[in-house]
Copies of this chain bind each other. A is one copy, B any other.
């Protein structure tokens, strides 16, 4: 296998307007505990870059473990981001599917070579992400996640 070197989906990202409310619904319907709500870092930490420009955008997030896959709820703020853009255009619903990869730079280049542009990137505690705008091709965005090796 080459390309992304993986076909294992690890997250389904869902945009919501009210994360507390939707978290409660998942918890009640699937009878599982409510996970903690976290917030993506401020620009100094997250180094969020959206469509080639630094952005102060942040999101509230929470993660439900559904087997191999996490359901990630995302409530974005009003600053420019792929989250805010997609939510304004499409309403609440699935935004992306995520894959854990190694070698972010080459994987981003690989997808760009397939006509799938980088739309947003940033850092999180222990790794980094890139959103690739594959909606024209795959009808859903891809998120690439690269986790630092823990020694």
> Please, which residue of chain B has its CB at the minimum distance from the CB of A10?
B67
Asked whether any CB of chain B lies closer than 8 Å to the CB of A105, the reply is no
Asked whether any CB of chain B lies closer than 8 Å to the CB of A138, the reply is yes
Pairwise interchain contact B16-A4, C-beta atoms closer than 8 A: no
**Residue from B28, B69, B138 within 8 A of A9 (CB atoms):** B69
Pairwise interchain contact B26-A138, C-beta atoms closer than 8 A: yes
Q: Which chain A residues (98-151) contact chain B, with CB distance < 8 Å?
A: 111, 114, 116, 134-135, 137-140
Q: List 27 A-B contacts (CB under 8 A).
A: A3-B30, A3-B31, A4-B30, A7-B30, A7-B64, A7-B67, A8-B67, A9-B12, A9-B66, A9-B69, A12-B97, A15-B139, A25-B137, A25-B138, A26-B138, A29-B111, A29-B114, A29-B116, A29-B138, A68-B68, A68-B69, A71-B97, A92-B139, A93-B93, A93-B94, A93-B139, A94-B139
Chain A interfacial positions (CB closer than 8 Å to B): 1-4, 7-9, 12, 14-16, 22, 25-26, 28-32, 64-69, 71, 90-94, 97, 111, 114, 116, 134-135, 137-140
